[in-house]
Amino acid sequence: MHQLFSFRVQSEAEIDESPSFNNKRAPSSPAFVCGLVGTFITMLAIVLLLYVYEKPPVQQVTTSTFCCPRVLKEILGAANPTIDPCRSFFDHTCYAYVPIQGGYTQRPPLNTDPVDGFPTTEAGRAVAAYHRSCMSLAEAETTAHGRLAADGLLNVTSPPKSSFTSHHLVSLIIELSLKYGLPALLRFDLKMGGNSTVLLKISPAPLEFLPEAPSPNTVSELKADAFEVVKEYFSLKLSLQEVDAFLDKVTDSMTNATETYTLDSLGDIHSELTALHWKEMLGAFEIPDRVNVQGVPLKELKDKFAHILQPGQRVLTLVSALVSASVRLASRLVVHDSTSEDRRRECRKRANELLPFRVLDRISHFRSKSQDHAILEAFKIIGGAVLTRAKSGMTSDDFRRLETTLSGMRVALPSQVIPEDLAIPTMTSNYARAELAARAYVRRAQRHQMISLGVSEGFSRHFLQKNGSFTEGVLVVPTHVYTALPPVNATDPLLHASTVGVYIADALWNFVFSNDWGPLSNAALREYGICIQDNSRSLIEWPSEIMWLSLATSIDAARDSHWGSLVRPADAWEVTRGQLFFMSFVHYLLCRDPSSRLETFGWDVNIFLSAFEDFSARSAATSRSRRSQAQCALFGLGTIRANEFSREFYIERNLCMRVVSDAHCFFGKTG
């Protein structure tokens, strides 16, 4: 370019010095031809460079819905050859945008998910997750479900391995019935009686009547595998024959006669269980003291409790209850078909049957500035947490310390998180994409951690399995979660496993932007706060009080019209309304079952467990993340520190911004 510029100046000087303007140089002058050729070569070089580095995405149906430009594939492939950048980045971040031939971008139909083929609505996402759950189970052997169910129940109930009192035993049996919908030894059911009275029904719970189980042989297989897991957990020398004999004796000779009595009468069925004990055990499920009890006659019930609470066989009672509940759960997970194709067809049929139940589909499609601002504030605080952790660096020892910190965390949800007086929540599609963008960030962090910190994939997977109560890629969660689903599906564990996270997030959103909360809503908030306190741990640079906020605190702060206004909960510390909302969003991640897949769950939660992605600051405010002022901005995958991934993230961010012109990727977009 410099030579070309000098040459053209010289040519103009020669023209000025000529004696006559009519004495022009011939078009075939060597100087003119050279200049023309040089200009052409320069322009051609620019066009080629633009073509190489700005080549539009080209669809490759054989590999992925989205296809990255060649240069991006090369850069990402050099970092980790096993990563498919198209699927890990575009499929999960841009989500609802598919490139077509010619380099243009079009939005697919609103009712189509390019990844799973189900509607992109909230119910559609849940159904897609249901289908993946079903397929993961269908590919496994039937006997694997018995081990899976037992392991999951042991994780969420965490029974002690010694000193199991009568009170603890009965509490566990009640919990299995009322919280997880898995009656064991005795069934406890809550019903509404006349005049709006609450009725507690106690009845036998034999394993012989399992409508989900395909055959008695399958029940025996599930029982044997569940027993092995439970026996190993307690390090016992019991035999399966002893458990079978115990179960038969508990359920034998139980009549169909019923009797009605008060809660105080239950205090007479066993010397170690007073009426106060019963009120305490049932009070954990918000059952009032004046509940009417209906069920097995008192004399017969007294005999049964005398049998199951004998001091010499309480361990046998505990094991039998857990095995019985595990078999019930496992029988619901079995897909009864012979071939893989039949199983896939059955899973697709089950998923499609759920589509009419559009419980989650009240999605609002209008744009709301306050909602968009809430999303941006959430990502700003994510950036602060990530930046704070990344600055100090994370080693494998740090990772193990986190494992120790979380050793007691279990994913357990309250029995009812959605109260009756809460309308079906509304959400913008913008918020749904924000969730997907967050997952993309965590995938980035996961890959970066594997490369730069040297933590093996096996160790990471074991860590996530242990702290997420995962087995074989599936998280066993309570089967009775909320009352909005039709009764016919209220006990489907796969449905709950795939929808509860989406639903809680939507309910949270509705809470924050509502103006009225009734008594049932406040009761649900208290339950949610207990869930948070029991299951979450503070792993970022904020005091634990902030991480353990109840959702009610966020709601109080949300009443203010200004999102950035400061509040002082309990006059202990200052925090903005936006921060309060996002901390509740953290709780939603830590206190839910977000997905049926191990990878998705692990990555979602992992953003707070090991925030090792290193984002740099665009301003001084970003680097001044404090406990009381986490005003950090998340600028996506661009402007990170100068390391081996800088170019990759810079190009990737720009490509996404170019492909998705309205910036739903949330990378570098602040309005």
**H/E/C letters for each residue in 339-395?**
CHHHHHHHHHHHHHHHCCCCCCCCEECCCCHHHHHHHHHHHHHHHHHHHHHHHHCCC
| Tens-place pLDDT, residues 235-245 | 888 888 888 88
Q: Are residues 84 and 22 in the same domain?
A: no
Host domain of residue 596: 363-634
Question: Mean pLDDT over residues 174-192, rounded?
Answer: 79
Please give the average per-residue pLDDT across 509-527, as a whole number.
Answer: 40
User: Is residue 646 assigned to a domain?
Assistant: no
Instruction: Evaluate whether residue 319 is within a structural domain.
Output: yes
- Name the 3-class secondary structure at 427: strand
- Based on the fold, state whether residues 6 and 106 are members of the same structural domain: no
CA separation, residue 134 to residues 344, 475, 517 (Å): 8, 12, 37
CA 502 → CA 409, 550, 640, distances in Å?
Answer: 21, 19, 31
**What is the predicted pLDDT for the residue at 293?**
82
Tell me the mean pLDDT in the region 457-483.
Answer: 33
- Condensed to tens digits (0 to 9), the pLDDT of residues 556-590 reads 444 443 445 565 544 444 555 444 444 444 444 44
CB proximity list for 664: less than 8 A, separation 6 or greater: 94, 95, 96, 97, 430, 433, 437
Torsional sign, CA 263, 265, 266, 272: positive
pLDDT band at 33 (very low <50, low <70, confident <90, very high): low
Nearest-10 crossing angle of helices 577-590, 551-558: 150
- Residue 137 contacts by C-beta under 8 Å, 6 or more apart in sequence? 145, 333, 334, 335, 474, 494
**613 close to 639: Cβ distance less than 8 angstroms:** no
Bridge pairing between strands 98-99 and 470-471: unpaired
Judge whether residue 593 has pLDDT over 60: no
Q: Which two tokens stand for residue 1?
A: 């370019």
Return the pLDDT at 656: 24
Residue among 95, 121, 115, 109 nearest 503 (CA): 121
Residue type, 51: Y
Q: Are 602 and 455 within 8 A, CB to CB?
A: no
Residue pair 535/411 in contact (Cβ under 8 Å)? The answer is yes
CA distance 535 to 528: 11
Q: Is residue 600 part of a domain?
A: yes
* Least reliable range by pLDDT among 4-8, 79-83, 136-140, 609-613: 609-613
Of 116-125, 277-286, 362-371, 603-612, the one with minimum mean pLDDT is: 603-612
**Tokens read off for 92:** 């999960």
The pLDDT of residue 329: 74
The answer on 186 and 49 residing in a single domain is no
pLDDT per residue as tens digits for the range 252-270: 656 667 788 877 888 888 8
Instruction: Tell me what the mean pLDDT of segment 448-472 comes to.
Output: 34
- One domain, residues 345 and 371: no
Query: In the predicted model, what is the mean pLDDT of the chain?
Result: 49
Tokens at 577, concatenated: 């309304």
The whole-number pLDDT of residue 205 equals 81
Using only C-alpha atoms, the chain has a radius of gyration, in whole angstroms, of 31
- Pull the structure tokens for residue 33: 């031809």
Give the three-class secondary structure for 659.
helix
Q: Which of 196-200, 221-225, 492-496 has the lowest mean pLDDT?
A: 492-496
Type of residue found at 658 = R
pLDDT of amino acid 525:
45
Q: If pLDDT is split at 50, 70 and 90, which confidence band does 212 have?
A: low
Alpha helices in 235-368 (DSSP H): 240-251, 275-283, 298-308, 314-333, 340-354
365/181: higher pLDDT: 181
Which of 46-50, 146-150, 226-230, 564-568 shows the highest mean pLDDT? 226-230
Angle between helices 340-354 and 122-138 (to 10 degrees): 160
What angle (nearest 5°) sits at the alpha carbon of residue 12, between those of residues 11 and 15?
90
Q: Residue 46: what pLDDT?
A: 62
Distance CA 565, CA 391 (A): 28
The stretch 86-107 carries a mean pLDDT of 29
Q: Is residue 6 located within the same domain as residue 84?
A: no
Q: How many CA atoms lie within 13 A of 617 on its CB side?
A: 16
Answer yes or no: do 456 and 512 share one domain: yes
In sequence order, what DSSP letters do the residues of 136-191 get, joined into one string? HHHTS-HHHHHHHHHHHHHHHH---SS---HHHHHHHHHHHHHTTS--BEEEEEEE
pTM assigned to the model: 0.41
What tokens appear for 333 in the block?
């997970």
Reported as half-sphere exposure (CB side, CA atoms, 13 A), residue 364 has a value of 14
Contact 190, 199 (CB under 8 A): yes
Residue 386 has pLDDT above 60, yes or no: no
Q: Span 223-247, mean pLDDT? A: 85
DSSP β-ladder status, 292-295 and 198-205: parallel
pLDDT of residue 436: 32
DSSP code of residue 90: I
Residues 6+ apart with CB under 8 A from 561: none
76 CB-side CA count, 13 A? 21
Q: Which sign does the torsion angle of CA 463, 468, 471, 474 carry?
A: negative
The residues pairing with 184 across neighbouring beta strands, listed in sequence order, are 186
Gap between the Cα atoms of 383 and 332, Å rounded? 41
Per residue in 70-89, pLDDT (tens digit) is 333 333 333 333 433 333 32
Q: Is residue 175 part of a domain?
A: yes
Pairwise pLDDT comparison (372 vs 486), residue with the higher score: 372
Asked if residue 550 and residue 585 are part of one domain, the reply reads yes
Judge if 49 and 96 occupy the same domain: no
530 pLDDT tier (thresholds 50, 70, 90):
low
Per the structure block, which two tokens stand in for 170?
């009965």
Q: Please compute the mean of the pLDDT values over residues 194-199 and round it to a whole number.
A: 65
Same domain, 75 and 36: no
Total count of domains within the chain: 4
Report d(CA 135, CA 131) in Å as an integer.
6
Q: Are 364 and 426 in contact (CB under 8 A)?
A: yes
Residue 667 lies in a domain: no
Segment 282-303 mean pLDDT: 78
- Residue 223 is predicted with a pLDDT of 87
β 470-471/427-428 pair status: unpaired
Among 281, 258, 285, 275, residue whose Cα is nearest residue 198: 285
Q: Given the structure tokens 């006659």, which residue do they identify?
A: 297
pLDDT for position 128:
56
Question: Do 328 and 183 fall into the same domain?
Answer: yes
> Quick one: how far is CA 366 from the chain centroid?
25
Q: How far apart are CA 498 and CA 593, in angstroms?
A: 7
- Which range scores top for mean pLDDT: 443-457, 485-499, 522-536, 621-635? 522-536
**Cα 375 to Cα 565: distance, rounded to the nearest angstrom:** 16
Who has greater pLDDT, 270 or 401?
270
User: Hey, which residues does 203 pair with through a beta bridge?
Assistant: 187
Between 380 and 575, the more confident residue is 575
656 inside domain: no
d(CA 130, CA 137): 11
Looking at the chain, the whole-number percentage of residues with pLDDT higher than 70 is 26
Classify residue 331: in a domain, yes or no. Answer: yes
Asked whether residue 220 falls in the same domain as residue 294, the answer is yes
**Poorest-confidence range of 134-148, 447-461, 488-502, 642-656?**
642-656
For residue 110, CA distances in Å to 113, 147, 390, 637 come to 8, 40, 38, 27
Kindly report, residue by residue over 608-635, the tens digit of the pLDDT. Answer: 222 222 222 222 222 222 211 221 111 2
d(CA 240, CA 82): 45
Domain assignment present for 617: yes
- 246 and 324 together in one domain: yes
Q: Given pLDDT bands bounded at 50, 70 and 90, which one contains residue 667? A: very low
Gap between the Cα atoms of 576 and 566, Å rounded: 4
Does 408 have pLDDT greater than 80?
A: no
Q: Encode 616-647: b = buried (16+ Cβ within 10 Å), e = exposed.
A: bbeeeebeebeeeebbbbbbbbbbbeeeebee
